[in-house]
């Protein structure tokens, strides 16, 4: 079961609202009364989703039509690049070179 909440902006014919979708099917709609009511309306939606479906919402950005979206399933964690491990042999070699009387520093770019 996947729950989506989409914020739909108002048009000349309709008021702005939050739509609650369960597996892509519209279940409910919370109309936003005005600018002062955006956050209270969102809090009502969050409480309703938590009470009816026992899930918490996670921000998911925007869709192609620039509507803000929240989803019940947490987004996939971002992959983290691992830092290359330095061998103890290479580390001790670098320490010895730094402690020598005339240390040689290898630079990636020439000193100007």
Among left, alpha and beta (phi > 0; psi -120 to 50; other), residue 44 is alpha
pLDDT value of residue 97: 72
On the question of pLDDT at 107 being above 70, the answer is no
Tokens describing residue 48 = 């309703």
Decide if 85 is inside a domain.
Answer: no
Q: Which domain holds residue 21?
A: 3-71
- Kindly report the CA angle at 10 between 7 and 11, in degrees rounded to 5? 140
- Note the pLDDT tens digit of each residue in 79-104: 777 777 777 777 777 777 777 766 56
Count of domains forming the chain: 1
49 exposure class (CB count in 10 Å sphere: 0-12, 13-18, 19+): buried
Q: Reduce the DSSP state of residue 42 to 3 states and report it.
A: helix
* pLDDT-derived band at 30, boundaries 50, 70, 90: very high
Decide if 89 is inside a domain.
Answer: no
* pLDDT-derived band at 110, boundaries 50, 70, 90: low
CB atoms within 10 A of CB 43: 11
pLDDT value of residue 105: 64
* pLDDT-derived band at 51, boundaries 50, 70, 90: very high
Decide if 40 is inside a domain.
Answer: yes
Decide if 79 is inside a domain.
Answer: no
Decide if 83 is inside a domain.
Answer: no
């Amino acid at each position: 079961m996947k729950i989506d909440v989409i914020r739909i902006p108002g048009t000349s014919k309709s008021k702005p609202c939050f739509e609650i979708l369960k597996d892509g099917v519209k279940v409910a709609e919370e109309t936003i009364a005005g600018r002062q009511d955006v956050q209270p309306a969102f809090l009502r939606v969050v409480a309703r989703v938590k009470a009816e479906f026992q899930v918490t919402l996670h921000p998911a950005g925007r869709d192609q039509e620039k509507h803000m979206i929240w989803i019940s399933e947490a987004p996939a964690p971002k992959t983290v690049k691992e830092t290359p491990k330095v061998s103890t042999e290479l580390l001790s070699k670098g320490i010895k070179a730094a402690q020598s009387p005339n240390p040689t520093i290898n630079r990636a770019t020439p000193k100007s």
